[in-house]
Each structure stands twice: as C-alpha cells, then as structure tokens.
C-alpha cells in the first residue's frame, strides 16, 4: 500500500491547498462563487463567471477603492477568473510578487470597471 501514500503526497503538493492565507494580502473582501441560486437571485447571465463580492470590510483597501458588495470580480490583473478561489489565489500571487496593488475587473450592473486596490504595507 505504499503507492496510495505516494499518490496522496503528490496530490497535496499539486493542489496547493496549503493555507497560505496568512501570507495573502488582506484587502478586505468576502467572496462567493456564482452558484445557480446566486445566478438566479442576481439575475445573472448563464455564461457569467467570476466571484461575487459578498461583503466588504469598511476598514480595508477594497472598500476605500470603491468595491461594493454585489460586484462581480471577473478578472484579476487582466487574467480572467472563474470563481472565488481563483480570485483569492490571483490576489495572493500579486502580493507575493511584490506588486503595490492589484487590478480588479468588476462587473456592476451592465458596466465593467477596472478598480486598482492597493495592498496595505506589511
């Protein structure tokens, strides 16, 4: 039964599920995936992808930059994202690469707007 152990470690390394959340810059966003329920509630198109902003921490950078609950993040630094996890990973990636801010493409109603959210220092 050694093979199963090897397979397990391989998939663990692969999935990058290690909680690096402590490292990720906190910009103060609570994100949700677009589920069929949310799609219906928010009256979204069937092909809509991204992450819904469920909550915004008023003391953090995202709120100061103008992001609102109900916004849908569809791209991070001009890379399309499909769900909340991809958004979180992309923001963490940007923070680790030493960027000063992250550029979010947000859908709000019928409009698409770019919002640059600065990372808090430290």
SS3 87: helix
For the chain, the domains span 2-118
| pLDDT on residue 111 | 95
Would you place residue 120 in the very low, low, confident or very high pLDDT band (cuts 50, 70, 90)? confident
| pLDDT on residue 121 | 59
For 35-57, how does the pLDDT look when each residue is reduced to its tens digit (9 = 90+)? 999 999 999 988 889 999 999 99
pTM: 0.77
- Quote the CATH superfamily of domain 2-118: PDZ domain (2.30.42.10)
Token look-up 């995936």 returns: 33
Tokens of 11: 């998939």
Report the alpha-carbon angle 73-75-76, nearest 5.
Answer: 100
Residue 54 falls in which region: left (phi positive, over 0), alpha (psi -120 to 50) or beta: alpha
For 57-67, how does the pLDDT look when each residue is reduced to its tens digit (9 = 90+)? 999 999 999 99
C-alpha distances out from residue 63 to 11, 30, 33, 71, 95, Å: 36, 11, 20, 12, 18
């Amino acid at each position: 039964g050694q093979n199963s152990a090897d397979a397990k470690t391989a998939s663990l390394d692969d999935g990058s599920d290690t909680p690096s959340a402590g490292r990720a810059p906190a910009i103060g966003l609570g994100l949700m995936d677009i589920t069929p329920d949310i799609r219906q509630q928010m009256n979204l198109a069937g092909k809509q992808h991204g992450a819904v902003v469920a909550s915004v921490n008023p003391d953090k950078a995202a709120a100061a930059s103008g992001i609102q609950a109900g916004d849908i993040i569809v791209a991070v630094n001009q890379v399309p994202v499909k769900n909340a996890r991809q958004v979180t990973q992309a923001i963490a990636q940007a923070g680790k690469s030493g960027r000063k801010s992250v550029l979010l493409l947000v859908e709000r109603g019928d409009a698409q707007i770019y919002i640059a959210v600065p990372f808090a220092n430290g």
